[in-house]
Amino acid sequence: MSSPTSLTIEPTYKQHLGWQILNDNETEEFLFGGGAGGGKSWLGCEWLISMCLRYPGTRYFIARKRLKILKQTTLITFFKVCRHHNLKRDAHYHYKEQQSVIEFYNGSVIDLLEVDYRPSDPDYEDLGSSEYTSGWIEEASEVVFGAFDTLTVRVNRQLNDKYGILGKVFITCNPKKNWLYKLFYKLWKAGTLPKNRKFLQSLVGDNPKNESGYKQKLIGLKNQAKKQRLLYGNWEYDDDPATLINFEAISDLLTNTVETKEKYMTVDVARFGEDKTVLTLWKGMEIYKVIIRSKQATNVTTDLIRTQASNEKIPYSNIAIDEDGVGGGVVDNLMGVRGFIANSSPLEDIRVNKDTEEKPNYRNLKTQCSYMLAEEINNHRIAVKPIVVADEDIDYDELLTEDLEQIKAKDPDSDETKLNIIPKDDVKEAIGRSPDYGDCLMMRMIFFLRLPNIINNEKVKINTASWVGTRWK
């Protein structure tokens, strides 16, 4: 069989714009789509096929969270595109299912990769030895940041110099409030995308080549959030059913009017270099002041809390400080404040009549407070109207929104009777930082909970070596 000497492509207008970006000399990370049916997969397949044919011996990947799904969906489109261009299996290319690889007659190769997050390989070292010319992450909304980050350094390594190809990571996805939102959509909206990163929206209406009925199906979607995302490419919606706080209620935080009686302070103390120390000051259920410090020694944090408590007349018993890690030192130096230990036992809710109301079974204190916070926000009982004092340029409202959207039930459908939330490490993966702002709201809930020593009337174990007054662990 003769080898194809040219491919005749018939892109949609958006795909045509996409081709310019895929062939330019400055874009290294390119996000295309942001809605259903916009011709994403077709473009990805056609691009890789054309690269393979034009540049013998080059190597690419198509990555997706699950290999099985990749083979059931994307690969089907791949074969469809091949047929469209008259490329014959086992003549122009071989598909080796066992090895998950497509090999072209001219030595070019496409690897099909599974990039699901595995705790046993958090740094994606499995991908470490692979060298690619370029690659494509399909349905990237399901893929965690770490995988993307690793793949970006695996391209530009296979004959790029020989052919003068700038290695690219092509990304296709539907809207999702995770690293894609942060790195692409948000910067695109603000007009601040770096030169090497691009976003091009292509929605169902941009693809006249869809099967008739595809758009109608999207219009008919009952789930409003899903419809917003898939049909209209709206990135501000998150339809993850595990989300505990609904998006409208989060937006309402900025305009709610709530009870403002007594003053409180909640403090998230920076643990690692990148985290922030955040002091959140409350009048009742309204946040009226937030202080954010980037790198700060714990003794400076202790002094800051002391000064704020004194200036703002906040009693120490109304101050909660996260006690895990270095926060413990801060708590130790401020006698009378309430230390918050995420993994400690749930406590009794003083608002609940324990004789008549069923007590939910929470995995730990943090889970309990997260569920309580979700309820407070969903019922519009918290307001966020702070003066923000930060040592860096920070969009507090935006960051807080991001954090609150990450409060999600873990395995809501499992048989496990204890309520649980997704672990902090997963949240960090999703948003690329620690959710310090949201944690400060979550900690506020501890003041609805009875102190542990009162709850069971039991003796509380005291470690005399570290006992510093009337503080119970």
Task: Give the residue carrying structure tokens 């090895």.
Answer: 99
Stretch that binds ligand ATP, among 39-47, 57-65, 231-239, 372-380 (CB under 6 A): 39-47
**The entry of ligand ATP, Mg ion, none that residue 39 binds, CB within 5 to 8 Å by partner kind:** ligand ATP
Under rule CB under 6 A, residue 39 binds ligand ATP: yes
Please identify, using beta-carbon distances, which residue of 200 and 314 lies nearer to ligand ATP. Answer: 200
- Least Å distance, CB 114 to ligand ATP, is 18
When binding is defined by CB under 6 A, the residue of 31, 36, 292, 404 that contacts ligand ATP is 36
Under rule CB under 6 A, residue 11 binds ligand ATP: yes
- For ligand ATP, the binding residues in 182-221 under the rule CB under 6 A are 207, 209-210
Which two tokens mark 164? 């003068």
Please identify, using beta-carbon distances, which residue of 215 and 306 lies nearer to ligand ATP. Answer: 215
Stretch that binds ligand ATP, among 40-48, 245-253, 281-289, 331-339 (CB under 6 A): 40-48
Torsion of CA 67, 69, 75, 77, to 10 degrees: -150
Please identify, using beta-carbon distances, which residue of 40 and 408 lies nearer to Mg ion. Answer: 40
**The entry of Mg ion, ligand ATP, none that residue 33 binds, CB within 5 to 8 Å by partner kind:** ligand ATP
Angstrom distance (rounded) from CA 233 to CA 212? 19
Size of the site for Mg ion (CB under 5 A): 2
Cβ-count burial 269-292 (b if 16+ within 10 Å, e if not): bbeeeebbbbbbbbbebbbbbbbb
Under rule CB under 5 A, residue 367 binds Mg ion: no
Please identify, using beta-carbon distances, which residue of 32 and 184 lies nearer to Mg ion. Answer: 32
Burial, 31: exposed, middle or buried (Cβ in 10 Å; 0-12, 13-18, 19+)? buried
When binding is defined by CB under 6 A, the residue of 33, 34, 175, 328 that contacts ligand ATP is 33
- For Mg ion, the binding residues in 25-84 under the rule CB under 5 A are 40-41
DSSP 244-310: SS-HHHHHHTTT------SEEEEEE---STT--EEEEEEETTEEEEEEEESS--HHHHHHHHHHHHH
What value, to the nearest 5°, has the Cα angle with vertex 455 and ends 451 and 461? 75
Please identify, using beta-carbon distances, which residue of 12 and 298 lies nearer to ligand ATP. Answer: 12
Site track 219-238 with ligand ATP (rule: CB under 6 A), x = hit? --------------------
Task: Give the residue carrying structure tokens 């954090």.
Answer: 403
Angstrom distance (rounded) from CA 460 to CA 462? 6
Angstrom distance (rounded) from CA 90 to CA 164? 29
Please identify, using beta-carbon distances, which residue of 226 and 271 lies nearer to ligand ATP. Answer: 226
Dihedral over Cα of 172, 178, 183, 189: its sign: positive
Q: For residue 231, give every residue at least 6 positions away whose Cβ sits within 8 Å of its Cβ, in sequence order, or none.
A: 35, 36, 203, 204, 215, 218, 219, 221
- For Mg ion, the binding residues in 268-327 under the rule CB under 5 A are none
Please identify, using beta-carbon distances, which residue of 36 and 113 lies nearer to ligand ATP. Answer: 36
Site track 373-392 with ligand ATP (rule: CB under 6 A), x = hit? --------------------
Stretch that binds ligand ATP, among 29-37, 373-381, 383-391, 448-456 (CB under 6 A): 29-37
Stretch that binds ligand ATP, among 32-40, 87-95, 280-288, 347-355 (CB under 6 A): 32-40
Angstrom distance (rounded) from CA 235 to CA 256? 24
Under rule CB under 5 A, residue 401 binds Mg ion: no
Angstrom distance (rounded) from CA 434 to CA 430? 10
- For ligand ATP, the binding residues in 60-99 under the rule CB under 6 A are 77
Please identify, using beta-carbon distances, which residue of 69 and 341 lies nearer to Mg ion. Answer: 69
Size of the site for ligand ATP (CB under 6 A): 16
> Which residue from 197, 256, 275 is spatially nearest to 376, judged by alpha carbons?
256
SS3 139: coil
Residues of this chain that interact with ligand ATP (CB under 6 A) are: 10-12, 15, 33, 36-42, 77, 207, 209-210
Residues of this chain that interact with Mg ion (CB under 5 A) are: 40-41
